[in-house]
């Protein structure tokens, strides 16, 4: 089935065609018809499956077809856990709804309120928001959500992890009981089920969850590398594939900054992303990354969700995550929709227990990328880092003194 076969507005069909979206992914195929039929939906789908468009397309169609004369208030509320995700989903609504009259706005903290209030006063149809700023403006009388037609909870599992349960409960007190509710989550637990059944009514349940939660169109592998050698292997990959787009995950913001500095020393352009960077600067970094001004983003798990770069070629797990679920979310930054993606992990001896936990969580052994001793040595001593490579200096000194040893 193609999008052209759906009973949706020609304005949306034409825009999907222009965007190169012709055939729905599994989650889109299973969800769109039910949403168009006015049913509540509870959907479980791993990251990278196209679930944003699964609700954006039918919601846009309904709002465009059923416009109420004289009403310019919010008709669809999309609640998300992070500012990056709010900005991204608002962008998807605008991209797919470009030819329609539907107005979308992304609302979040970290920026001045005045312009946001002016935009709300001009009238919008779809509000994509994080809870904090939304409740600020509701309490100030600038935001009315009492006549909603749609409530969408996206990344509901992350919302619970971040402590937004009470915010969700408070929203339910402000909105109409007669509404259509769409609930999307990447993982399902008893707590998430309890939340879902408190907001949806007689929902259609959809689950796209293969045995291995890493998307089937992602090839992932692991290379065993000493902790102190990881920067040389990253340098090697980034220089060998300098025309590709990479997102590199490290454990802490200090590690991120050190990796960026190490890559700068060898002439590789990268940018850092972590929670210590101001919101406006984070948006600017993401925009440069999406636009191709920079093709390498070094980040903490702040970007494990809420960033959708359709052309992402590689994910590098420079450090393995402590939580195996984050491995799935990280890898999901590549292989989006119907595209194939590559994920490579560097595993030091100390991280082997983390690798075992990931393999137990996914139910599958990760393919090992075999590195011969000669190849390892060539990568290690082929770096442009100069004086910073202590192993190369030791070998040089050994040669000069006739005491060459194996490292």
Rounded Cα gap, residues 185 and 156, in angstroms = 5
Q: Where in the chain is the domain with CATH 3.40.50.300?
A: 3-208, 218-394
Which of 3.20.20.140, 3.10.580.10, 3.40.50.10540, 3.40.50.300 is the CATH number of 3-208? 3.40.50.300
User: Torsions phi, psi of 104, nearest 5?
Assistant: -120, 145
Contact indicator for 37, 89 with CB cutoff of 8 Å? no
Angle (nearest 5°) at CA 60 between 57 and 64: 140
Distance CA 90, CA 398 (A): 59
The two tokens of residue 51 are 């679930």
Backbone angles phi, psi at 91, to 5 degrees: -65, -35
Has domain 218-394 been given CATH number 3.90.76.10?
Answer: no
- Asked if residue 164 lies in contact with residue 131, where contact means CB atoms within 8 angstroms, the answer is yes
List the chain pLDDT tens, one digit each, 407 residues: 899 999 999 999 999 999 989 999 889 999 999 999 999 999 988 767 788 999 999 999 999 988 766 677 899 999 998 888 898 899 999 999 999 999 999 998 878 889 999 999 988 999 999 888 898 899 898 998 999 999 999 988 888 888 888 889 889 988 999 999 999 988 888 888 888 888 999 999 998 765 556 667 788 899 999 999 999 999 999 999 999 999 999 999 999 999 999 999 999 999 999 988 887 888 899 889 988 899 999 999 988 776 778 788 899 999 999 988 889 889 888 887 667 889 999 999 999 999 999 998 888 889 999 899 999 988 988 888 765 555 555 555 555 555 444 43
Instruction: Measure the CA–CA gap between 320 and 216, rounded to whole angstroms.
Output: 20
Task: Give yes or no for a contact between 346 and 223, defined as CB atoms under 8 angstroms apart.
Answer: yes
Secondary element (H or E) of residue 238: helix 230-240
The residues near 290 (Cβ < 8 Å, ≥ 6 apart) are: 309
> Which residues have C-beta within 8 Å of that of residue 145, sequence separation ≥ 6?
74, 77, 127, 134, 138, 171, 174, 175
Q: What b/e readout covers 333-358, taking b as 16+ CB neighbours within 10 angstroms? A: bbbbbeeebbbbbbbbeebeebbebb
Write out the H or E segment, with its range, that includes residue 52. Answer: helix 51-65
> Which residues, at least 6 apart from 316, have a Cβ–Cβ distance to it below 8 Å?
234, 237, 246, 247, 248, 249, 343, 344, 345, 346
């Amino acid at each position: 089935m193609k999008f052209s076969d759906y009973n949706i507005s020609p304005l949306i069909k034409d825009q999907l065609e222009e965007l190169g979206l012709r055939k729905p992914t599994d989650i889109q195929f299973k969800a769109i018809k039910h949403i168009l039929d006015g049913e509540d939906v509870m959907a479980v789908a791993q990251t990278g499956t196209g679930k944003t468009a699964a609700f954006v397309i039918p919601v846009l169609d309904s709002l465009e077809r059923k416009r109420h004369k004289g009403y310019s208030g919010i008709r669809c509320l999309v609640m998300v856990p992070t500012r990056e995700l709010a900005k991204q989903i608002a962008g998807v609504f605008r991209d797919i709804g470009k030819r329609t009259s539907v107005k979308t706005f992304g609302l979040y903290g970290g920026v001045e309120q005045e312009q946001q209030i002016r935009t709300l006063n001009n009238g919008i149809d779809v509000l994509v928001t994080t809870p904090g700023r939304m409740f600020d403006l509701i309490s100030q009388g600038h935001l009315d959500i009492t006549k909603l037609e749609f409530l969408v909870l996206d990344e509901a599992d992350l919302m619970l992890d971040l402590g937004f349960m009470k915010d969700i409960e408070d929203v339910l007190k402000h909105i109409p009981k007669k509404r259509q509710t769409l609930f999307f989550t990447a993982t399902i637990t008893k707590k998430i089920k309890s939340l879902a059944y408190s907001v949806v009514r007689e929902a259609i349940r959809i689950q796209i969850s293969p045995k291995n939660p890493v998307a089937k169109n992602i090839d992932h592998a692991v290379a065993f590398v000493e902790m102190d050698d990881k920067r040389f292997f990253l340098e090697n990959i980034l220089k060998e594939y300098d025309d590709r787009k990479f997102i590199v995950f490290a454990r802490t913001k200090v590690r991120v900054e050190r990796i960026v500095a190490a890559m700068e020393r060898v002439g590789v352009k990268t940018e850092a992303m972590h929670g210590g960077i101001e919101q406006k600067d984070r948006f600017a970094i993401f925009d440069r990354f999406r636009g191709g001004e920079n093709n390498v983003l070094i980040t903490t798990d702040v970007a494990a969700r809420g960033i959708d770069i359709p052309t992402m070629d590689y994910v590098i797990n420079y450090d393995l995550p402590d939580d195996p679920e984050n491995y799935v979310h990280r890898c999901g930054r590549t292989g989006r929709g119907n595209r194939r993606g590559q994920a490579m992990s560097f595993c030091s001896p100390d991280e082997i227990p983390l690798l075992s936990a990931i393999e137990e969580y996914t139910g599958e052994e990760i393919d090992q990328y075999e590195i011969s001793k000669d190849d390892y040595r060539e990568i290690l001593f082929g770096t442009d880092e100069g004086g910073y490579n202590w192993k190369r200096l030791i070998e040089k000194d050994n040669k000069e003194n006739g005491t060459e040893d194996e490292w």
